[in-house]
């Protein structure tokens, strides 16, 4: 039940009895057949942690459980969608960049950087109130949104990669992350907060970077 | 040295050399890189005045190091332009990066619809090297020749090179049931010999920035 | 599409620009040879040749209006282009495409329609915010991402709908699961979580084609204005039926408003 790309901004998923999908609220564009969309306010995988924070409205949005028998078209705001297929490893994704994922994956949360996730740090929400990063592990497909699409940068032990936190979408592999202020970056202040930080990823794996430093 | 990774990301492989890029446009890099803020707008008095008027928007940074640096800006489409001693005029906010060897300057045009405040500042790039320009949607390159002058909507103008004369034209008549209508009251007419880059959008330039 | 250093994109001139066809996904080229095209204001980005753009309903264009343009409410947003040369159309870097109607009909969201040939008649659809094109001719539409065609039966998030052809106008479908139960009631009371396509969709049946785009935010919509008060005409102002909505949270697209009360929440 993988996701099929219809075009860069829309994916199609077949829903089959007994197999569930989870999607972000508002991600369903159209459907055929007998499909139900149930929000998980509590419950779902990981209890309260199944909320996907929505950066724009600052509103916690519930994950939807999608089940039944039919076909669903997913997309959101005309953003580009990248389908990532996991074969046992773990994907770390900025929570609100997650469009949909298969129920076979195990969902969890993790804090990147010191507290409050990457964007939490960037926005100065060090209190832990900010967004957290979602982890998905196992075998299955994940659909991730980004402004303008993503490109993949491999991370190797000899070549750590530095990413603008606002352009960070997701990463996978055996990767250590560090939020740092690099010398010289302090000179770059000018476009609002967050410019002084960069996310440093080292180890082996790959990071998905979006072609924009804008929020969704 | 400049290469496109897809159409919205510029990858620059550096071996100790430098590039000048729009402030804030770096999305990722590997290896060792140093970033230095430079003042945009050009040298001398004119440069100072330009910086005053445009504020932070035209800040340029210099990136130098060993490794690969990736640049992008709001998912805009990127076009590479190779300059062989000629001069490129670009809407300042549409310039993403230039080879540090190219000379950049500013020219005040003030032509394009001063009422909307757009098109007041054009960046000039000249010398030998590569420049990356951005557009909202893939740019279309149109050739202007003596027998085929071109009229362009100011909001769609991105850049031009060659031997071209610009003039303002008000060719749009909007006499409607309701009286004088809105929409673009001016158009830019290009005559001569050269190339004009247009974008499939009315996204404004600095003063009317989205 | 990657470029290697040195190689540039295609350079176009009046000879190489296509006639009445896409230049690329975001730009369309119309050739005028003394004929006319209806255009939405502000969508022309450049042209070669000599062209004139006049507002609708002005003087000698009256006859044109009588045969092709039947939507007085939209008149101020449209112009007629005439002259000779090649003109490039585009809209906010959205995907543009042309479609040919052959003695057919297509209803499209007004914000998505860019241009059409006068051989087509433009009318206002009963469904607010949509326009219907009838006849034979070409029109150009813009969408956020490529248009996806699907066939009924299908339920569509209202914000993802671009238009439909041949099949009957859609009806509203409300998901009962949303309206009942504790969470449904909570949502109605507090307006929490707003509304989204999961609760309310447009339902299409019959034979035809439905056009979709990946958009949860509507593109800037052409104001359809308020129809003059007219009994029996849906959407007309003045003849207001039903209880007025309680103040508080603004009504979001798709939010049920009065209907929530009627379903007894």
Of B5, B29, B76, the CB nearest to A151: B5
* pLDDT tens for each residue of C76-110: 678 888 899 999 999 988 999 999 999 999 999 98
For the segment A136-143, the average pLDDT, to the nearest whole number, is 92
- Looking at per-residue pLDDT, the higher value among B76 and A116 belongs to B76
pLDDT band at A193 (very low <50, low <70, confident <90, very high): very low
Of A7, A28, A78, the CB nearest to C198: A28
Q: Taking CA atoms, what residue in B is nearest to C81?
A: B172
Q: What is the pLDDT of residue A207?
A: 92
E-strand spans in chain C? 11-12, 21-24, 27-40, 44-55, 78-89, 95-109, 113-116, 120-124, 130-143, 148-150, 154-156, 161-165, 171-174, 200-204, 209-212
Give the gap in angstroms from C-alpha A71 to the nearest C-alpha of chain C.
Answer: 10
What residues contact residue C59 under an 8 Å CB cut-off, 6+ apart? Answer: none
CB-based contact B159:B140 (threshold 8 Å): no
Q: Is the pLDDT of residue C230 over 50?
A: yes
Give the gap in angstroms from C-alpha A70 to the nearest C-alpha of chain B.
Answer: 34
CB-based contact A201:A173 (threshold 8 Å): no
Distances (CA, A) of B19 to B96, B129, B132, B135: 10, 11, 11, 20
* pLDDT tens for each residue of C104-136: 999 999 889 999 999 999 888 888 889 999 999
How far apart CA C122 and CA C67 sit, in angstroms, is 9
Phi (first) and psi of residue C67, to 5 degrees: -90, -30
- Confidence (pTM): 0.78
Task: Give the least confident one: A29-43, B43-57, C12-26.
Answer: B43-57
Chain C contact residues (CB < 8 Å to A): 144-146, 148, 150, 153-157, 160, 175, 177, 183, 193, 196-198, 201, 210, 212-217
Q: Is the pLDDT of residue B30 over 60?
A: yes
Q: Taking CA atoms, what residue in B is nearest to C88?
A: B200
Q: What is the pLDDT of residue C155?
A: 94
Cβ of B150 within 8 Å of Cβ of C91? The answer is: no
* pLDDT tens for each residue of C29-51: 999 999 999 988 888 899 999 88
Q: Which chains border C (3 or more CB–CB pairs < 8 Å)?
A: A, B
Task: Give the least confident one: A111-120, B82-91, C235-244.
Answer: C235-244
Q: Is the pLDDT of residue A13 over 50?
A: yes
- Looking at per-residue pLDDT, the higher value among C72 and C239 belongs to C72
- Identify the DSSP state of C9: P
Decide: helix, strand or coil at residue B45: helix
Q: Please state, rounded to an integer, the average pLDDT across all residues of chain C.
A: 74
Which residues of C fall within a CB distance of 8 Å from B98? none
Q: Is the pLDDT of residue B176 over 80?
A: no
* pLDDT tens for each residue of A69-110: 999 999 988 888 999 998 888 898 877 788 999 999 988 876
- Identify the DSSP state of A153: E
Say if B99 is an interface residue toward chain A (CB within 8 Å). no
**CA B7 to centroid of chain Cα atoms:** 16
Torsion angle, CA of A84/A87/A92/A96, rounded to 10 degrees?
A: 40
* pLDDT tens for each residue of B117-150: 444 567 889 999 999 999 999 999 999 999 999 9
Q: What is the pLDDT of residue A83?
A: 92
């Amino acid at each position: 039940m993988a996701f099929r790309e219809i075009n860069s901004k829309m994916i199609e998923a077949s829903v089959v009895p007994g197999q569930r999908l989870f999607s972000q609220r508002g991600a369903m564009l159209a459907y055929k057949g007998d499909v139900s969309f149930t929000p998980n306010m509590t419950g779902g995988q990981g209890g309260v942690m199944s909320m996907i924070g929505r950066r724009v409205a600052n509103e916690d949005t519930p994950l939807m459980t999608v089940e039944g028998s039919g076909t669903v078209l997913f997309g959101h705001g005309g953003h580009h969608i990248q389908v990532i297929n996991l074969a046992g490893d773990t994907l770390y994704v900025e929570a609100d960049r997650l469009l949909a994922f298969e129920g076979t994956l195990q969902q969890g949360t993790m804090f990147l950087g010191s507290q409050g996730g990457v964007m939490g740090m960037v926005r100065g929400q060090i209190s832990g109130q900010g967004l957290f990063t979602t982890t998905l592990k196992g075998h299955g497909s994940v659909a991730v949104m980004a402004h303008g699409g993503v490109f993949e940068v491999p991370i190797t032990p000899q070549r750590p990669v530095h990413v603008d936190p606002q352009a960070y979408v997701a990463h996978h592999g055996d990767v250590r992350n560090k939020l740092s202020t690099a010398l010289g970056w302090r000179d770059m202040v000018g476009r609002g907060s967050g410019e002084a930080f960069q996310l440093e990823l080292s180890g082996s794996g790959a990071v998905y970077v979006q072609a924009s430093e804008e929020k969704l | 040295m400049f290469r496109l990774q897809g159409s919205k990301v510029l990858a620059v492989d550096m071996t100790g050399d430098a590039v000048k890029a729009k402030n804030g446009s770096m999305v990722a890099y590997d290896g060792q890189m140093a970033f230095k803020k430079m003042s945009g707008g050009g040298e001398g008095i004119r440069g100072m005045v330009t910086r005053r008027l445009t504020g932070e928007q035209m800040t340029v940074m210099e990136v130098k190091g060993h490794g690969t640096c990736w640049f992008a800006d709001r998912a805009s489409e990127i076009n590479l332009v190779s300059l062989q001693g000629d001069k490129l005029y670009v809407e300042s906010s549409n310039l993403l990066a230039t080879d540090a060897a190219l000379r950049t300057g500013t020219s005040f045009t003030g032509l394009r619809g001063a009422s909307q405040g757009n098109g007041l500042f054009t960046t000039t790039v000249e010398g030998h090297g590569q420049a990356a320009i951005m557009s909202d949607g893939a740019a279309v390159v149109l050739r202007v020749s003596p027998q085929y002058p071109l009229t362009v909507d100011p909001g769609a103008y991105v850049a031009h090179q060659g031997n071209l004369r610009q003039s303002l034209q008000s060719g749009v008549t909007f006499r409607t049931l309701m009286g004088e209508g809105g929409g673009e009251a001016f158009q830019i007419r290009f005559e001569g010999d050269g190339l004009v880059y247009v974008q499939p959008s009315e996204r404004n330039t600095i003063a009317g920035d989205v | 599409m990657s470029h290697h250093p040195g190689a540039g994109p295609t350079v176009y001139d009046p000879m190489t620009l296509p006639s009445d066809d896409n230049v690329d996904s975001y730009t369309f080229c119309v050739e005028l040879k003394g004929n006319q095209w209806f255009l939405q204001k502000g969508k022309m980005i450049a042209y070669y040749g000599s062209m004139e753009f006049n507002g609708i309903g002005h003087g000698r264009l009256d006859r044109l209006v009588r045969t092709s343009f039947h939507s007085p409410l939209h008149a101020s947003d449209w112009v007629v282009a005439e002259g000779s040369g090649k003109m490039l159309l585009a809209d906010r870097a959205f995907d543009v495409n042309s479609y040919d109607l052959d003695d057919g009909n297509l209803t499209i969201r007004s914000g998505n329609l860019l241009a059409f040939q006068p051989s087509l008649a433009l009318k206002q659809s009963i469904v607010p915010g949509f326009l219907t094109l009838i006849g034979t001719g070409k029109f150009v539409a813009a969408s956020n991402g490529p248009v996806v065609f699907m066939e009924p039966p299908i339920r569509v998030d209202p914000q993802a709908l671009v238009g439909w052809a041949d099949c009957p106008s859609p009806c509203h479908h409300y998901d009962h699961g949303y309206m009942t139960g504790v969470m449904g009631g909570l949502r109605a009371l507090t307006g929490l979580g707003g509304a989204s396509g999961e609760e309310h969709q447009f339902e299409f049946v019959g034979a035809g084609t439905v056009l979709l785009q990946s958009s949860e935010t509507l593109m800037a919509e052409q104001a359809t204005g308020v129809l003059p008060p007219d009994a029996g005409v849906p959407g007309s102002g003045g003849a207001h039926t039903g209880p007025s909505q309680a103040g508080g949270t603004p009504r979001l697209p798709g939010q049920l408003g009065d209907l929530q009360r009627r379903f007894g929440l």
